[in-house]
Every structure is written in C-alpha cells, then in structure tokens.
Amino acid sequence: MSYAAPHDAPKPTSSSSPEIIRAFQPDGTLTFVNEACCTFYKKKPEEMVGFNLASFLSEDDREEIIAAIFSITPDHPEVITRPQYSSDDGRIRCVEYTNKGIFRADGTIIGYQSTGIELNIENLEYHTQIASGTGDKDSSPKRTTTNFFLQQKNIGIFSQKMSEVIRYAEMYHKDRSIPVLIEGETGVGKEIVAKIIHFGQGNSLLPFVDINCTAISPSLFESELFGYESGAFTGAVNHGKQGKLDCARGGTLFLDEVAEIPVELQAKLLRVLEEKHFYRVGGLHSTPTDIRVVAASNLDIDNRVGDGSFRKDLYYRLKVGHIHIPALRERREDILPLARMMLLLSSKKRNKGFHNISRATCELLLNHPWPGNVRELKNLIEWATFMYDAPLLLPEHIQHRLTIPGGMQQPLSPPTMKRDITKKNIKAADIHTAINTCGGNKTQAARTLGISLRTLYNRLNSLKKDIPE
C-alpha cells in the first residue's frame, strides 16, 4: 500500500518494509510514502503525497529538522534527524530518520529519501526534557492553507499600501530567477517580506539563509559568504567550511543591509548573480549554485551609488525586482488595527485582561511619529501588557514611553547638518553632534552625515572618541 505522485522524482523501491520510508522533492513536497509511514502518521497515502513535509513536523522541531536536511551536500550526502510526535494517548514518540540527498552530476539536488525507525524514547538521553511533560500535544500538525509567515508570525495586513507590498512579494515568489531589493526604514518588516518572497503562500523546506552585512567584519565577510577550502588561510579548519552560498543552495539568500557589503566583494557577488557559480576562498574549482537573492537596505542606495561606495552594476542587478515598504507614519490607517491585534495577542500570552484601547490612547498612538516603526509599536504594547492589567489600554500605561530619543520633535526626515560635510572632512565634533541630534541612534546619525554605518564605526575607532550609546 504505497502511493507516488506522477513525476520524475526518485522513489524508494520498497512499499511493504517495516521501516518508515518517504521521498520528497527539493521544496519538501512528498512524492512517496510506504505503508509503514501511513500507519505511523495515521494518514491515507493521498493525505500525505503532494503535501509538504513541514506539515508533518511539530513547531518545536520544524526549524531544526529543516536546517539539518538542507545541510546535505554532495560532500555530505546524509544526515540523521529525530523528530518527535505526540500520540493520541499523550505518549511521546520519536523516529530516527536517515535522510539522503540525490544529486545530479553538476551537484544540484534532485530530491531526498528518508528511511526511519521508531526509537524507544525513554532510553535516549537527549530526550529527557520530553519526560518532564514539555512535549507538543498535537500529533498531526495541520497543513497551512494561508500565507505561511503571515500566520506563523501573527502579522496583520490592514492598509492598501501593505496589501500591495504583500501582493508584490507573492508575485516575486513565483519566479526564483528574479533578484529582489527591499527598501525601507528600520523596523518596517523587511525580513518578513523577504520570507514571504521565499515561502509564498505555504510551507516549504527550501532553505532561507540570512546574512547581516553589518554584523560581519570585512576581513571575514568573504569566507562567511563563499566558504573556504582546507588550509586556505591561517586558522582555517582542516576540512574547510561551507559558506552561506552553500547553505542556501536551492533556496533563498537574504542579504540584510546589503549596502554595507565591502566594495572589494561586490564584484564577486555580481559574478555569482550573473554566472551562477563561485569559488571558495582558496579554491581552484568553481562551485555551481542555484539560489534566489533577496537584498534589503534601510539606506538610500542611490546615494551610495552616487558616492562610489556601491557598484552601479550590482545595484541594478539586485533591483530587477523592487519593493519599498512605507514607514508606519506613512500608513496611519495601520496603527490602531495593529495595536489592537498586538494588544490581544500579548494580553493572552500573559493572561492579562486587556481587550481594547481607550479613545484617548488612540489619539496618542495616532499622533506619535513612530521612528522605530512597527517594531517600536510592538515593543510598546509588549511592555504595557507586562507592566499593567486592565480592560482598556489607557494613556497612563504608555504616555511616558512615547518620547522621541534625544528630545527630537519631528524625526520624519533625517536632520541636516549646518555646514557642508564630506566623508574626508568629517570631524569628531560632527559625529558627536549627529549622534546627539539623532538621540543616540547611530544608524540615523550615519544617514545624516551621508556615510554608511560601517564607515561611522570605523571613523569612531580612528578618532578614538568615546561617543555615548
């Protein structure tokens, strides 16, 4: 009793084995399940084949299992996973799966095969936390039929402007060959939109690999992105290391704050986008790759292109697809619905009694400029539900928190400096003034001075001035 969808993905040959056998495509869609698999999950074959493997994983295991499966490469074609399930009688069950990748001659993935054996969970040391009763009681996660990340992250879309953003993201999801550049201020939700571009309307096991371009020093950026071969440099591990491009194979590489990529590496990234292969650090042979690139920035990249700190050809290559996410102050119709949704969710999480927002509080929320955008609103509501408990959210619960850092009254656009400042003549006093004017926000200060955040930190270090956080 086995069932396979009519396509060319590889299929196991045994359907009556006592082992749990399944096969699935690179995007996680199941193509084969045997009788033992159907018996374990208490599903009919047609209730599994054609559905995504992620639909049959608990939320506690899903991220770890997906990451493990997508660590499979031609060099490391097999990985063991041990997902946990809760049966109808409340018992925790565990299956040890041996997952194998099937690859073409050029190294691209064709599909995966998994063979599983149920384990005696009581004898496994790494499952002792389950015995304490912390396991998931839902034995059969439901298949997602609405947008995966909008549902998972409890994200509400209330305005026409944001509906357009989501519509474009779902359109770009349909064509993996199109790079997409997402622009918007800090806190507007660029990573969430990137994940919607990746996942589209449902679950997927294709990898989503993010890299924060401001968090990695220029000296380490190349090896982090491209990986390196054994002995490529002093301190390199003997067996080499995969880079983010390897980890994102078949899926999406998300370059957050892409404007901060070191200039000397921008040409190499452009080559990856155009030629679909790359060289690891210290490598002599090119490695093929099949990735979608989604980039994001809170800076005006046009200005970076103008001053020569960002390559024009890379900019236009990344901007084949483009999404601008408006700031929260530019879509005020979102503020109150978002606040109410966040209030109910946060109140429920903390067992508090909040169920609505008073009229006076609504006025406060609508009149605030929200320099931190949706992230600032969410943090405010989280704090209020932590500190207070009442039927209505009142002004006294949040009024003292609705202040602009540094006493700025109107952060709707970056303040401009009084005199002409160029990168070469920026002095310690200029940096100090900009940071104070921006309320300690170094990202805003860098934008005010017309330099990148990395340049600001480098200049701070070179000037050896103690600028307060």
Domains recognised in the chain with CATH numbers: 3-134 (3.30.450.20), 149-324 (3.40.50.300), 334-402 (1.10.8.60), 410-469 (1.10.10)
pLDDT at 81 (0 to 100): 86
Question: Are the CB atoms for 33 and 48 separated by under 8 Å?
Answer: yes
User: Does residue 313 have a pLDDT over 50?
Assistant: yes
Question: Using CA atoms, how far apart are residues 276 and 25, in angstroms rounded to an integer?
Answer: 21
Tell me the pLDDT tens digit for each residue of 326-339.
999 999 999 999 99
Please give the C-alpha separations between residue 216 and each of 141, 195, 257, 297, 422, in angstroms, as whole numbers.
37, 22, 11, 16, 26
Annotate 105-143 with three-state secondary structure: CCCCEEEEEEEEEEECHHHCHHHHHHHHHHCCCCCCCCC
Q: What angle do CA 198, 157, 354 make, to 5 degrees?
A: 125
* Main-chain dihedrals φ then ψ at residue 457, nearest 5 degrees: -65, -40
Using the structure block, give the residue that is written with the tokens 């005020």: 332
Question: Using CA atoms, how far apart are residues 174 and 197, in angstroms rounded to an integer?
Answer: 8
Tell me the pLDDT tens digit for each residue of 130-143.
222 333 333 332 32
Question: Using CA atoms, how far apart are residues 404 and 329, in angstroms rounded to an integer?
Answer: 14
Q: Between residues 405 and 117, which one has the greater pLDDT? A: 117
pTM for the whole thing? 0.60
Q: How far apart are the first and last CA of the chain?
A: 65
Question: Are the CB atoms for 353 and 347 separated by under 8 Å?
Answer: yes
Q: Which two tokens stand for residue 387?
A: 């500190």
Question: Are the CB atoms for 28 and 19 separated by under 8 Å?
Answer: no
* Nearest CA-CA partner of 33 in 97, 104, 110: 97
Q: Which two tokens stand for residue 154?
A: 């409890």
User: Does residue 251 have a pLDDT over 70?
Assistant: yes
Question: Are the CB atoms for 365 and 335 separated by under 8 Å?
Answer: yes
Question: Are the CB atoms for 208 and 195 separated by under 8 Å?
Answer: yes
Q: Which two tokens stand for residue 132?
A: 């304490």
pLDDT at 449 (0 to 100): 76
User: Does residue 281 have a pLDDT over 50?
Assistant: yes
Question: Using CA atoms, how far apart are residues 313 and 358, in angstroms rounded to an integer?
Answer: 52
Question: Are the CB atoms for 33 and 1 separated by under 8 Å?
Answer: no
User: Does residue 411 have a pLDDT over 70?
Assistant: no
Q: Between residues 421 and 227, which one has the greater pLDDT? A: 227
* Mean pLDDT across 66-93: 80
Question: Using CA atoms, how far apart are residues 218 and 233, in angstroms rounded to an integer?
Answer: 15
pLDDT band at 445 (very low <50, low <70, confident <90, very high): confident
* Mean pLDDT across 192-209: 84
Question: Using CA atoms, how far apart are residues 280 and 245, in angstroms rounded to an integer?
Answer: 10
* Mean pLDDT across 48-54: 90
Question: Using CA atoms, how far apart are residues 402 and 420, in angstroms rounded to an integer?
Answer: 33
* Nearest CA-CA partner of 171 in 200, 131, 208, 211: 200
Question: Using CA atoms, how far apart are residues 190 and 177, in angstroms rounded to an integer?
Answer: 20
Please give the C-alpha separations between residue 429 and each of 288, 408, 419, 433, 438, in angstroms, as whole numbers.
49, 19, 12, 6, 14
Amino acid at 359: R
Q: Give the max Cα distance, the chain.
A: 79
Question: Using CA atoms, how far apart are residues 418 and 420, in angstroms rounded to an integer?
Answer: 7
* Nearest CA-CA partner of 206 in 111, 124, 139: 111
Give residues with Cβ within 8 angstroms of 286, minimum separation 6: 277, 278, 279
Question: Using CA atoms, how far apart are residues 317 and 181, in angstroms rounded to an integer?
Answer: 9
